[in-house]
Amino acid sequence: MIKFLKSSWIYLLAGALIFVYSFAKQGEGLSPKEFAKKIKETTNAQVVDVRTPEEFAGGYIADAKNIDWNNDNFDKKISNLDKDKPTFVYCQSGNRSGSAAKRMKEMGFTNVYELSGGIRAWRSADLPLQTVKKASGMNMSGYQQLLDDKRPVLVDIYAKWCSPCKKMAPFLDELTTSEASWLKIVRIDADKNIALADELKVTGLPTLYLYINGKEVWNYSGYISKAELLEQIKKHT
C-alpha cells in the first residue's frame, strides 16, 4: 500500500512538472524556423503583427493581422481574437511583441508564442514574407557613395519606433555638427531602406558601422552612450 502511494505521488509530481514546464514554454520566444514550424502545425493559428501599418506594409508573415501595439485601441482589437486559440506574436526586433504578449496573457490568452528577434531575424533566416507594397530606398551602390569621404564615416541604422535609437538620436545629431571637421555621421532609417538593411545583415537596432577609407573597421548593435561611442571611434581611428 505504501509503495502504491509513493508511486502515485511520483506520477502526480511528474505530471505537475510537465504541466508547469509546458505552460512556461508557451511564453518563451521561438526562433524563426521554430515559429514558422509551429504555425504550420497549428490548426487555425492566430498570427498577430504588432508593428505599425507602415512597417507591416513593408513585409509581413502570411495570414498575420496587423494590430499596432502603440495604438490606443490595442486592447480592444486584440480582444476580438479567440483567447483559447494559439496566438503567434511578432514585431520588428522582439521588444514590442514581448510587451504585447505579456499584456495578452494578463487579458486571459492561454497560448501565446513570440518570434525571437522579430521580422529582422525572420528575414535573416530567409523565410517568406507577404508584401502590400514594394520596398523602396537606398541600394548598395548609393550606400557605398556615402562612404566615399576622407573622414571616418559612422553609419547609424535606426528606426523611429526603436527606444534605444530615440535615446541616442540627440547626441548623434549633436556630434554630426560638433565633430564634422573630422567625422561624418550618416543616419539611415531601416524601415525606409529594408533591402539595404537586409543586405547589410542588420538583425538588431540600432546598428552602428564605422568605416575608414570605405572599409568597415567596427560595428555595434544596441544602445551605446555618447562617451563610449566616441571612445570606440577614436580607438579605431
Q: What tens digit of pLDDT does each residue of 5-55 get?
A: 445 554 444 444 443 333 334 446 899 999 999 999 999 899 999 999 888
pLDDT at 105: 95
Please indicate, yes or no, if residue 204 is contained in any of the structural domains: yes
User: Can you give the residue range of the structural domain that contains 214?
Assistant: 140-236
Same domain, 155 and 96: no
Residue 162 is among the residues annotated as catalytic for this protein = no
Same domain, 164 and 73: no
Are 114 and 158 in a shared domain? Answer: no
Same domain flag for 145 and 224: yes
**CB-based burial label for 170 (10 Å; 0-12, 13-18, 19+):** exposed
Total number of domains in the chain: 2
Q: Are 96 and 50 in contact (CB under 8 A)?
A: yes
Query: How many other CB atoms sit within 10 Å of the CB of residue 92?
Result: 26
Q: Domain ends where: 73, 98, 124?
A: 124
Which among 106, 89, 91 is positioned nearest to 38, based on CA atoms?
89
**Claim to verify: residue 45 and residue 81 sit in the same structural domain:** yes
The C-alpha cell at 6 is: 509513493
Give CA–CA dist 160/149, Å, rounded. Answer: 27
Considering the domain architecture, whether residues 120 and 211 belong to the same structural domain is answered as: no
- What is the Cα–Cα distance from 99 to 8, expressed in whole angstroms? 40
Considering the domain architecture, whether residues 118 and 149 belong to the same structural domain is answered as no
What whole-number distance in Å separates Cα of residue 74 and Cα of residue 87? 15
Q: Is the same domain home to 155 and 70?
A: no
pLDDT < 70 regions, the chain:
1-28, 133-136
Helices (H), the chain: 2-25, 32-41, 53-57, 74-78, 95-106, 118-124, 140-146, 163-178, 194-199, 226-236
Per-residue cell: 183: 567625422
> What's the whole-model pTM score?
0.58
Q: Does residue 131 form part of some domain?
A: no
For residue 4, tell me if it sits in a domain: no
Q: Which domain CATH number covers 229?
A: 3.40.30.10
Cis bond upstream, residue 128 (ω within 30): no
Which of 79, 95, 124 finishes a domain? Answer: 124
Same domain, 119 and 181: no
Residue 131: per-residue pLDDT? 82
* Per-residue model confidence (pLDDT) at position 133: 56
The reported pLDDT for the residue numbered 116 is 95
Tell me if 163 is assigned to some domain: yes
Give the integer Cα–Cα distance in Å for 202 and 157.
8
Are 78 and 148 part of one and the same domain? no
Same-domain pairing of 222 and 148: yes
Annotated catalytic residue within 30, 89, 91, 154: 91
Query: Is the separation of the CB atoms in 212 and 182 below 8 Å?
Result: no
CATH number at residue 56: 3.40.250.10
Q: Name residue 82's amino acid.
A: D
Is 154 among the domain residues? yes
Going by C-alpha positions, the residue among 112, 115, 48 that lies closest to residue 86 is: 112
Which pLDDT score is estimated for 210?
98
The three-state secondary structure class of 128 is: coil
Q: Is residue 129 part of a domain?
A: no
